Amino acid sequence: MKIVTVENIKIGAGEPLVLIAGPCVIESRDMVMRIAEDVKKISQELKMPYIFKASFDKANRTSRTAFRGPGIDEGLKIMAEVKKQFDLPVCTDFHEAWQASVLAEVVDLLQIPAFLCRQTDMLVAAADTGKPTTVKKGQFLAPWDMKNVIDKYTAAGNHNLMLAERGATFGYNNLVVDMRSLAAMRDFGYPLVFDATHSAQLPGGSGTATAGMREYIPAMVRGACGVGIDALFMEVHPEPEKGLSDATTMWPINKLKELLSIAQRIDIISRK
């Protein structure tokens, strides 16, 4: 198992479970700063390495009129402020190849969305930055098909790669997490991330928005940690039901510490 280093955080090869978390999208500067502060406090109490995540643009929203975020320029300013004020590595996703080099000036961990995991130009652009990158397995891909994704990325000379599971399409408007997928992707030798909140989505389930089943997130977290993962990805919010994106699947911050504590205990047993 390789180790991927994000700033001072090591992920993989027996290192402690890492948290990658933040709001689905940057709703405002004040909201981002509040979430970063609250989650950092929880991570410090649990002695859990933490990488802050937020999206500057949700380019794949169900509806054209849905809130997308502040855009790349304003988004980077806010991410840079999070880094400076809270001394945290930061992560964001991107949707076009040209954005990778711009983001790399601030962002410590790039993320390629599941819908775009096969886009060769995206993978090469991320690898060319030299930054570590998480690639989410597409809802439409078998886990073993991620070998082609790995080959595209590493052909550019960058092996700082992590793979993420976020559920597979199971009929219309539904996802299911096949725990065999985690085991299959671990065999590639790259650190493995479990995206617990997106895995609870019901894509397009509300007609003009994605629905979700937040109540099943704890069960999926327990299962993934039992199989064996290196990082846990969660979108969190102080009032998820009021969130401007993924309101049905973001996890409430006031319940985060309890869930992470359980995840840590299972992770320790799993690693033994």
Question: Could you tell me the CA-to-CA distances from 58 to 50, 55, 137 in Å, in that order?
Answer: 23, 7, 18
Tokens read off for 84? 């400076």
* β-strands 175-176, 168-169 pairing: antiparallel
Predicted local distance difference test score (pLDDT) of residue 159? 98
Predicted local distance difference test score (pLDDT) of residue 257? 98
* Amino acid identity for residue 63 in this structure: S
| Range(s) of the domain holding residue 180 | 4-271
Predicted local distance difference test score (pLDDT) of residue 271? 87
Number of domains in the chain: 1
Q: What stretches in the chain show pLDDT beneath 50?
A: none
Predicted local distance difference test score (pLDDT) of residue 206? 83
Assign residue 243 the CATH number of its domain: 3.20.20.70
Say if residue 200 is exposed, middle or buried (CB neighbours under 10 Å; 0-12, 13-18, 19+). buried
CB-based contacts of 119: which residues, under 8 Å, 6+ apart? 97, 112
What pTM was estimated for this model as a whole? 0.97
Residue closest to 126 by CA, chosen among 91, 165, 75, 80: 91
Predicted local distance difference test score (pLDDT) of residue 207? 87
